[in-house]
């Protein structure tokens, strides 16, 4: 039976020569309000450009699960998670967006970023629509 864990595992990036983005949506994050002890629910969005390592998904799931019984403010837990994953993977860039569900009539979204010193992203390439298909036969 799987149990929550603070350990994060990594694996070698299969294409370290290229900047590419990894996007993860984690819809079942929970922790406790440190003031009331009531549960807080959030969807986490993890986006990163790996360097030499990628985070292993099962260990990430167990790591995220480890916060269920812990009291944390939204801002603190978002930054703590980002710092820990960035420390384990040492990415070129990482962003964690935590969208917390309503509490007291307020939705809270916290966005934290990590950028490797000296890393500059490549310019965004915008592609025009492909030309319409020819109807000639």
Q: Which residues are catalytic?
A: 33, 40
CA angle 93, 116, 61 (to 5 degrees): 45
| Token pair belonging to 47 | 């986006």
Distance from C-alpha of 66 to C-alpha of 70, rounded to nearest angstrom: 8
Distance from C-alpha of 8 to C-alpha of 87, rounded to nearest angstrom: 10
Number of Cβ atoms within 10 Å of the Cβ of 60: 20
């Amino acid at each position: 039976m799987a149990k929550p864990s603070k350990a994060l595992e990594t694996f070698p990036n299969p294409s370290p020569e290229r900047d590419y983005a990894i996007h993860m949506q984690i819809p079942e994050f929970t922790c406790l309000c440190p003031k009331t002890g009531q549960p807080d629910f959030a969807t986490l969005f993890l986006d990163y450009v790996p360097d030499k390592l990628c985070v292993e998904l099962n260990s990430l799931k167990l790591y995220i699960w480890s916060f269920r019984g812990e009291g944390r403010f939204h801002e603190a837990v978002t930054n703590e998670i980002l710092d820990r994953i960035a420390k384990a993977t040492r990415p070129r860039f990482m962003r964690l967006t935590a969208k917390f569900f309503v509490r007291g009539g307020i939705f809270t979204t916290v966005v934290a970023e990590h950028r490797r010193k000296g890393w500059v992203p490549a310019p965004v390439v915008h592609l025009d629509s492909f030309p319409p298909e020819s109807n000639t036969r």
